[in-house]
Structure 1
């Protein structure tokens, strides 16, 4: 029995499909199947019922998988304990980050972090907030970067407050205003992300009004990507909301969309770094959060009259 074999059965349990599990952990399906078969032969039991689609653990397999998770977690913590010893930061560091933050924040600090801590093996994975939290609980991630409050058993480090911005078609009724306000917004007039994105939920909280009679774009289109919503706006379709960093480098000379700030109090989201174990990799977590804070634009580091939307 090896840690590798235990990690394979945990992966199959997570994805309930041998081919998908193999793809996710970057090995071939024959290798995955062979190693699990060897483990089953050694233990003299079937861990998975392969006659089912998707595959499911047997009753004894469920017990074995739970114990495997505990063993893998303990082994990882031993590695973490060793990694925090010594003067230099080193070791693996897995970061779960939500899609409305990742493409705009990571490029700002990545080069600074790599130059300062070259021995740290960084791995980023985009995931919805619920998936980030699940990954933290399962020790799949060391830290998460999200924009909503967490459960009590997780630790939080506030990184910055990020204002919401309006992104409008140049032909939109609000395009002529110097600033927009919350009362200008109607739910039916906005392009939204798919359900499951916290940015969608926060946008809905900002837009408290309904507008059944003035909807000028009788099209329903929900996306998992903010950039898709931006492209729709630039083709003279409506309005969407964006986080500040998504429009920070907006080039007015080559984009048809119009960026509008909100009047005070400006609706904003709080971007947080979260983790589940206070004593492991604490110095790495502190260094990681510090590099992020020093790499973001100065205007996000200043206190403003904001309305925090959770």
Structure 2
């Protein structure tokens, strides 16, 4: 219907123009009326055939192609053939939507490409630093021809520490890769999160003492709290978070763990009173190799993958992790775990990538 109205308007415009020219030269209303009628009819038929056959039909084909590609063959067959009353307007909307989707896809690809470049740059730097150090210590020992045994022993000790750093880096990279691909399953069991926290505290007591940091378990509940999770992987989460608080804590400070029972979840929070983190860094904190203080991070060691591993493990449990921090006052990392239901066994299932 809209096509005919459009054609009629254009034909009428042409007919009026031709009739006006005819009247200007002949001054005959009879000739004007005849001319107007013939011109209107011929213009209408001509425009309609041209638009319908050569333009509108092509637009319909384009619309059907876009519509079919958008829905997919299976969904299109299920819904039946779609016939639009106004394919020109629909094509415009479809193309605009397609353009928005493609722009979004291009933006995502650019982000992925930037992440890939940053990752390759970071991993190259992380490997080069200990490798160059090892090479330097060994070359110094060889050049000295082992004459100064005390210096040789000292340099070998330093080279050994850098070898350990490389080992940690490779181990953590391998673990993240396996978590992402689902090679490491999540072995769900019911266990008391209170007991696990105490075990982790006991294993880290000596390290806490070295950093002059006090460990505090803020346990407000008399009854044990049962959760449904992979016990060893949650142990790793707690160890990484507490170890991170040692690295960025302050001497004579404290690291505390708190539990909060929600409706069907348990919130575990690890809080320190250390140097804190600037707000602008918080969104990137769980990225691989991201460090807010590069110089200090080099001194305290680590692979730079601890928080990335924590995020992968928590998300593999279909749970969430967050961080809040105030520069100069400290940081709090919180993650949720599913409460265990009494009397229901929990199967072992693999990690599924979203």
Scaled to the shorter chain, the TM-score interval is: under 0.3
User: Could you say which structure has the higher helix fraction?
Assistant: 2
| TM-score normalised per structure 1 | 0.25
Q: TM-score, normalised by structure 2?
A: 0.22
**Could you say which structure has the greater relative contact order, defined with CA pairs below 8 angstroms and 6 or more residues apart?**
1
